[in-house]
Amino acid sequence: MALIRCPECGREVSDLAAACVHCGYPLRAADLPARYAIILADPGPDPGKTAALLHDRLTLTQEEAQSLTMETPAVAVQGLTFRQAWDLSDTLRHTCTCKVVRDKSVWTPEAVRNAAPVDLNQEQSRSWAERAAAPMTFGKTVGAILCALAIWTVAGFLLASLLHAF
């Protein structure tokens, strides 16, 4: 978690907050999931292996992947969902040093160097909470109603058979 400045009142608030706790200014759209970027901090002991892995897992040419390993720290990929960032960072950690950060629309060299990594375990629990708070889709609502009716019917039959047994 990092502190950012509210664009409305200028006071510091958590980057995880949906709105400023001081003035209520919305800091991010509640219906949009958070996006993440992966910054390649160090290509590791075998930059060729890291470049090959980046080429295989991302939509990079071999030349782009090699160039990326030479110019660290650099943004390897951005616009990832939580699950994509988690999986890719888990794959990359065996060959290189990378960090998962909150995505920005524009990355300056200074922003790449100073980007604070997110705690993936904390983000995972936050991601689950956001999903649980999301409204149900039409299909899920219909499914829930049908399941409730099936359970009600089975319970009714069981109760009726118990009453006839006595």
Amino acid 146: pLDDT: 95
> Region 55-82: what's the mean pLDDT?
85
Q: Is the Cβ–Cβ distance between 96 and 42 less than 8 Å?
A: yes
> Region 120-132: what's the mean pLDDT?
61
Q: Is the Cβ–Cβ distance between 72 and 24 less than 8 Å?
A: no
Check whether the bond before 7 is cis (ω within 30° of 0). Answer: no
97-102: strand order across its sheet: 74-80, 36-42, 97-102
Quick one: tokens of 116?
């604070």
- Amino acid at position 119, single letter: D
Amino acid 150: pLDDT: 95
